[in-house]
């Protein structure tokens, strides 16, 4: 018999999440031999902490539910011939150390996954965040060689891949992030221009200095005030991919204006929200391409690894505060 540990949402977040909003529970899992046809026992090896957990918990969860989220897990017992003992999968089973599955909700890591590559990247650059960058940039921004791309939260899981794909696509890339170390990192991985949005005197001036001609594409991870300022620096017929709004997720009172309609009209902009699952039928193509770019060194990845399942709430809160460089993951 296995005792799984799981983090539950004790209390809905009010403003910024606190560690006291979570509770660590123990769950007794049944033995597989008791009605375990086709069943698998898995142990989480890496778990992801992502910004979406903040708004989705509000929308989809009730107090007492296990926190939503994905993991890379190892098969420790198998009664399903499609899943070998010791194989690694990506699951969507929330913040728990162990779980039972019949395999239908699991994705095996590609057989071409190189031994040298950390499997945690299946939660980052070669996983959902990488795919978000890939489809958002290619299908929503429809970037073209020679264009200028702006991305915010640029040193994070999605943003860092956005900038590097834009460089692969022959664009000029401007990124901004919340610390000088992150700015240094962005330059190291090939961003043409990068600045710290927390310390610039004027966001408007910083955006103008980085690209005096304006921006063709804007990959927006942040929303709020940043987006309103950036919209005014778009070129005519510019495209804006509304990927995330992390500057608003913890607001108890919704932010107000300035509003976007006037620049949208005068510059004839396109602004489109998207969710990466729209391209679920093309995820395999995206993952194959991302894996290839990572192996060729064209997409570099940094991970912020927090050790210990007991530290999941801290890792989640830290990520929302901007403590992560690259993808925030927890190693069990």
Candidate residues 91, 159, 263, 286; the one interacting with ligand NDP per rule CB under 6 A? 159
Candidate residues 70, 132, 164, 306; the one interacting with ligand NDP per rule CB under 6 A? 132
Task: Check residue 157 for interaction with ligand NDP (CB under 6 A).
Answer: yes
Task: Check residue 158 for interaction with ligand NDP (CB under 6 A).
Answer: yes
Task: Check residue 16 for interaction with ligand NDP (CB under 6 A).
Answer: no
For ligand NDP, give the closer residue by CB, 103 or 156: 156
Task: Check residue 38 for interaction with ligand NDP (CB under 6 A).
Answer: no
SS (H, E, C) the chain: CEEEEEEEECCCCCCCCCHHHEEEEEEEECCCCCCCCCCEEEEEEEEECCCCHHHHHHHHCCCCCECCCCEEEEEEEECCCCCCCCCEEEECCCCECEEEECCCCCEECCCCCCCCCCHHHHHCCCCHHHHHHHHHHHHHCCCCCCCEEEECCCCEHHHHHHHHHHHHCCCEEEEEECCHHHHHHHHHCCCCEEEECCCCCCHHHHHHHHCCCCEEEEEECCCHHHHHHHHCCEEEEEEEEECCCCCCCCCCCCCCCCCCHHHHHHCCCEEEECCHHHHHHHHHHHHHHHHHHHHCCCCCCCEEEEECHHHHHHHHHHHHHCCCCEEEEEEC
Task: Check residue 148 for interaction with ligand NDP (CB under 6 A).
Answer: no
210-229 residues in contact with ligand NDP (CB under 6 A) are 221-222
From the CB of 33, what's the least distance to ligand NDP, in Å?
Answer: 39
Question: Judged by CB under 6 A, which stretch of 19-27, 29-37, 167-175, 317-325 contacts ligand NDP?
Answer: 317-325
For ligand NDP, give the closer residue by CB, 32 or 166: 166
Give the span between the Cα atoms of 27 and 99, in whole angstroms: 10
From the CB of 102, what's the least distance to ligand NDP, in Å?
Answer: 27
In this structure, what token pair is assigned to residue 9? 């949402």
Task: Check residue 283 for interaction with ligand NDP (CB under 6 A).
Answer: no
For ligand NDP, give the closer residue by CB, 157 or 291: 157
Task: Check residue 246 for interaction with ligand NDP (CB under 6 A).
Answer: yes
For ligand NDP, give the closer residue by CB, 42 or 183: 183
Residues near ligand NDP (CB under 6 A), total: 29
CB 210 within 8 A of CB 195: yes
Task: Check residue 91 for interaction with ligand NDP (CB under 6 A).
Answer: no
Question: Judged by CB under 6 A, which stretch of 95-103, 149-157, 185-193, 204-212 contacts ligand NDP?
Answer: 149-157
From the CB of 169, what's the least distance to ligand NDP, in Å?
Answer: 19
Buried b (16+ CB within 10 A) or exposed e, 63-99: eeebbbbbbbbbbebbebeebeeebbbbbebbbbbbb
Task: Check residue 207 for interaction with ligand NDP (CB under 6 A).
Answer: no
Q: In whole angstroms, how far apart are CA 13 and each of 48, 63, 186, 314?
A: 19, 10, 32, 14
Task: Check residue 52 for interaction with ligand NDP (CB under 6 A).
Answer: yes
Task: Check residue 247 for interaction with ligand NDP (CB under 6 A).
Answer: yes
Candidate residues 149, 177, 240, 329; the one interacting with ligand NDP per rule CB under 6 A? 177
Question: Judged by CB under 6 A, which stretch of 27-35, 73-81, 242-250, 258-266 contacts ligand NDP?
Answer: 242-250
For ligand NDP, give the closer residue by CB, 204 or 268: 204
Q: What are the residues binding ligand NDP (CB under 6 A)?
A: 50-52, 129, 132, 153, 155-159, 177-179, 182, 221-222, 243-244, 246-247, 274-276, 319-320, 322, 324, 328
């Amino acid at each position: 018999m296995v005792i799984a540990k799981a983090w539950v949402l004790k209390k809905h977040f009010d403003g910024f999440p606190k560690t006291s909003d979570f509770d660590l529970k123990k769950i007794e899992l049944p033995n597989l031999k008791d009605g375990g046809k086709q069943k698998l026992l898995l142990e989480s090896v890496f778990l992801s902490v992502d910004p979406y957990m903040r708004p989705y918990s509000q929308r989809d969860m009730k107090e007492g539910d296990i926190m939503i989220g994905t993991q890379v897990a190892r098969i420790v017992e198998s009664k399903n011939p499609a899943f070998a003992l010791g194989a690694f999968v990506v699951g969507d089973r929330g913040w728990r150390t162990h779980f039972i599955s019949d395999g239908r909700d699991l994705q095996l890591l590609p057989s071409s996954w190189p031994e040298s590559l950390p499997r945690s990247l299946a939660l980052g650059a070669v996983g959902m965040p990488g795919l978000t960058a890939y489809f958002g940039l290619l299908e929503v921004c429809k970037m073209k060689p020679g264009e200028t791309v702006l991305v915010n939260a640029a040193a994070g899981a999605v943003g860092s891949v956005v900038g590097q794909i834009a460089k692969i696509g022959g664009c000029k890339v401007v990124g901004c992030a919340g610390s000088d170390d992150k700015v240094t990192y962005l330059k190291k991985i090939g961003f043409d221009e990068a600045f710290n949005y927390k310390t610039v005197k004027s966001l408007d001036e910083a955006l103008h200095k980085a690209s005096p001609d304006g921006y063709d594409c804007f990959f927006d991870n942040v929303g709020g005030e940043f987006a309103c300022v950036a919209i005014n620096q778009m070129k005519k017929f510019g495209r804006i991919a509304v990927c995330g709004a992390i500057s608003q997720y913890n607001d108890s009172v919704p932010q107000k204006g300035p509003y976007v309609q006037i620049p949208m009209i005068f510059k004839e902009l396109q602004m489109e929200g998207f969710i990466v699952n729209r391209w679920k039928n093309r995820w395999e193509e995206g993952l194959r391409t991302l894996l290839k770019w990572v192996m060729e060194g064209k997409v570099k990845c940094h991970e912020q690894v927090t050790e210990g399942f007991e530290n999941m709430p801290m890792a989640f809160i830290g990520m929302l505060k901007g403590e992560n460089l690259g993808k925030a993951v927890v190693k069990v």
